Amino acid sequence: MMNWAVLLCALVALSECNVKISLIKGKTARETLMEKGIWEETRLKFPYKPMAKFYQTGDEAMTNDADLSYYGVISIGTPPQSFNVIFDTGSSNLWVPSVYCSSQACQNHAKFNPAQSSTFTWANKPVSIQYGTGSMTGQLAYDTVSVGGISVTKQIFGASQTEAPFMANMVADGILGLAFPNLAASGATPVFDNMMTQGLVSQNLFSVYLSGNSAGGSVVSFGDIESNYYTGQITWIPLSSETYWQINMDSVTINGNTVACNGGCQAIIDTGTSQIVGPTTDISNMNSWVGATTDQYGDASVNCNNIPNMPEVTFTLNGNAFTIPASAYTSQNSYGCMTGFGNGGTQQLWILGDVFIRQYYAIFDRQNNNVGLAQIA
């Protein structure tokens, strides 16, 4: 039997079956805590463990990334209740705070109220998401989720009842996971899977453009590749694992020298991680090659005046070279300048996070299980 939503997509302009969400580049938790003068004590209390979300044994894991800054608005329920969420390709669940949450982290965020939605039903199933420094626990439920004007009916999501304290420092209220279903806590169907099943997108892919500009311009486009965001050709890279958006990385080179990932490694394209993260020894070597000094927390600082003379770093993915200039892999805050190369510990896994994605328009293709990358325009 023909899917009527697909037929409707065929009858109307295709653009109406594609969803474009504007992302806001907001203040990071690090910036907020620095302004309050409590960054040092907070980072000691909640040490950053970037690999936690990929290796923990809980239902699903997230990290306390103090440098995440991109979020967009979705709504849940009838009438709609709005939430700022991180669109995270490194996890698979949708969750937001609920009115049943009494944790500190819920007090300064929007909270979903089931009693105010006529389309809400409980799933009668708990959900737990592990963090590097704590967890989010809650109950699964179903309701209509609106993303950029497209409504996904009977979408399962987590309504939090407790949240890790670090979340109080984040701008975003919750997370919208965009990885594969087999990662989802409690078997919850991800939002994009329901978009595909319900025929709400004209292509089974989504794409991400991250601008370095805090004034805006960043977008997630569901069902569409937007040519105005990139220049040149799209390089398509097959997935090596259909869990995360995971691909083969051949090497990391500086000035023609292999400085990391010697002999090949695995990398995950992750919008929900702010940095480029890799094994400790490799990251230390990279930071050394670019002239950075690493402190006890793993932050690698550089002299801001040296940035124009620092070398490019090339990541070779499935035989294709992707180069990041120093202006892109460094950032400046009130403490000075630092690199965006983060220490991931002993695990032999890489995360190509926002530092990488700001340079390369990223297309996440579920139809063909590929990632497409193209130089940003």
Catalytic residues: 88, 270
Quote the DSSP letter at residue 234: P
Distance between CA atoms of 53 and 48, rounded to whole angstroms? 11
Distance between CA atoms of 227 and 234, rounded to whole angstroms? 10
Distance between CA atoms of 290 and 339, rounded to whole angstroms? 9
Q: How far is CA 377 from the centre of its chain?
A: 21
Q: Do residues 371 and 363 make contact, with C-beta atoms less than 8 angstroms apart? A: yes
Q: What is the residue type of 220?
A: V
DSSP string, 9-70: HHHS-GGGGSEEEEEEE---HHHHHHHHT-HHHHHHHS---TTHHHH--SSEE----TT--E
Distance between CA atoms of 126 and 201, rounded to whole angstroms? 30
Give the contacts of 35 (CB within 8 A, at least 6 positions apart).
none
Distance between CA atoms of 282 and 37, rounded to whole angstroms? 32
Q: Which residues pair with 273 in a beta bridge?
A: none
Helices (H), the chain: 4-11, 29-36, 39-45, 52-55, 104-107, 191-197, 280-289, 326-329, 354-357
Phi-psi region of 12 (alpha: psi -120 to 50; beta: other; left: phi over 0): beta
